[in-house]
Structure 1
């Protein structure tokens, strides 16, 4: 049998060396020793590898030892969860946004949501102010349009009457704009 299998406990990133490159150099195939009990075809001349130094994760005390600490940790986690649920309800509009009181994550989330809420209130206020200003400007434009039309007609009438007076053409004093325009258009071209 060909002994070309390197049984190495995984995960392979836990080693300082590039174990895949080492295996390729020596013509070995790596199999995770944690997932198989068989050592069939195991190579005897395998490279030496070194485990990386890792920070160990904090270990919670078991129920038998320091269970008071465990209950305290579980209590804090439950309080944090409850605070998060209340903040989610507030974000969904099901309740008022209130300070959670405890828990680093819930307090950070509260401040973020409060900032967003205040931003929306500011934008809503600005939108309402702009809507009022738009309505006011539209009213002003309509008022100016209505006021401008008679002035335009008066100027036009005065201009038409001046042309007719210059040509010594008689017209009624209360003649309409249309009749004055017709009379001007019938003037002989000089």
Structure 2
């Protein structure tokens, strides 16, 4: 077995570098070192990677369980934040209008992000609608120009066909259609 295995403790998203891209670049196959003890086929030359520093989540410590009022206040605050987030999710799903949640750091931040996204969509929609109107006007102009160009092209074509028939001294009707003139020219003897 070749030494092309990179034993790396997972999860792989904990690293600053893109370990999958590094493995591909170096021709290595990654195996999670935390789920196997075997190191068979381990590569000697593996890329250096660094673990991403993640800030720990804040932990709520309740030192005095007799302080029920403070605990109830905290629960009420968390419930208000949850309710604000639920309203914002409903707005994002189109179930209600997007409204400022009023309280809570997370709902207010989420509201700001959703509002920016909403404004971006409105801007894009307006631009799309104006471009669609411009496309329609350009299509109408193209059709108008085509209609104006056809008689000129047809007149030039008729004149050319009549000139060929005149040169061959072939009679034709003065109001002959383009198709009948083309047929008469096609029947001319090849010289």
TM-score by length of 1: 0.60
Q: Are the counterparts in 2 of residues 80 and 106 from structure 1 also a CA contact under 8 Å?
A: yes
Cα distance in 2 between the residues matched to 1:99 and 1:106:
8
Cα distance in 1 between the residues matched to 2:136 and 2:168:
49
- Equivalent in the alignment of 1:187: 188
* Matched ranges for 1:59-98 at <5 A: 59-65=61-67, 67-98=68-99
Cα distance in 1 between the residues matched to 2:59 and 2:165:
103
Once the two structures are TM-superposed, the CA of residue 189 in structure 1 deviates from its matched residue by: 3.5
Cα distance in 2 between the residues matched to 1:182 and 1:79:
86
Q: Are the counterparts in 2 of residues 61 and 69 from structure 1 also a CA contact under 8 Å?
A: no
- Equivalent in the alignment of 2:168: 167
Unaligned runs of 5+ residues in structure 2 are: 1-57
Cα distance in 2 between the residues matched to 1:164 and 1:84:
84
Q: Could you say what the CA RMSD is over the residues aligned between the two structures, in angstroms? A: 2.5
- Equivalent in the alignment of 1:153: 154
Superposed CA offset, 1:135-186 (max 9, x none): 2233223222222222221111010112223333333221222332233334
* Matched ranges for 1:15-164 at <5 A: 57-65=59-67, 67-164=68-165
SS in 2 for 1:175: coil
* Structure with max Cα Rg: 1
Q: Which runs of 4+ in 1 moved over 6 A?
A: none
Corresponding residue pairs, total: 135
Superposed CA offset, 1:8-38 (max 9, x none): xxxxxxxxxxxxxxxxxxxxxxxxxxxxxxx
Superposed CA offset, 1:74-99 (max 9, x none): 22112111211211221122221111
Once the two structures are TM-superposed, the CA of residue 109 in structure 1 deviates from its matched residue by: 0.8
